Copies of this chain bind each other. A is one copy, B any other.
């Protein structure tokens, strides 16, 4: 994979999500960076995402990872709405503290039909990851894109 400029900007990505993906709002994700082959997003700490034990819920972390992967993939193929997750594997590693969670995604493979990436989730201000994700996106053939 030769490096390239990202095929979507943060502003374009956010606009697409606002228009098409209602679920993004409920989490308040902040897209921080989209580069060629990597992306970063943030889940602001919010009591609404707490699970028993007083920590950020697993589903909120899975949603953040999936969202960041979406930014990563669109950064490499452009604003293709029908790119969809085909599988996602998450390992929860540590209890995040009462702070934002930051997701760093990077590409492992960009193929013609599948993109595979990994996402590391970190508590803001912490060094050790709170979760690690690998995910696969299906890339629609060009004739299905808009």
Main secondary structure of the interface of A (DSSP, over half): mixed
Question: Is A5 on the interface with B (CB-CB < 8 A)?
Answer: no
Chain A positions 21-46 with a Cβ under 8 Å from a chain B Cβ: 21-23, 26
Determine whether the beta carbon of A134 is less than 8 Å from that of B23: no
**What sequence of 0s and 1s flags, for each residue 4-21 of chain A, a beta carbon within 8 Å of any chain B beta carbon?**
000000000000110011
Q: How many copies does the complex hold?
A: 4
Question: Is A143 on the interface with B (CB-CB < 8 A)?
Answer: no
List the 5 shortest-distance A-B pairs measured between CB atoms, nearest first: A59-B63, A20-B52, A52-B81, A93-B109, A23-B57
Q: What residues make up the interface of A, taking CB atoms closer than 8 Å to B?
A: 1, 16-17, 20-23, 26, 47-53, 57-60, 62-63, 66-67, 81-82, 84-94, 108-109, 113-114, 116, 118, 128-129, 132, 134, 136, 138
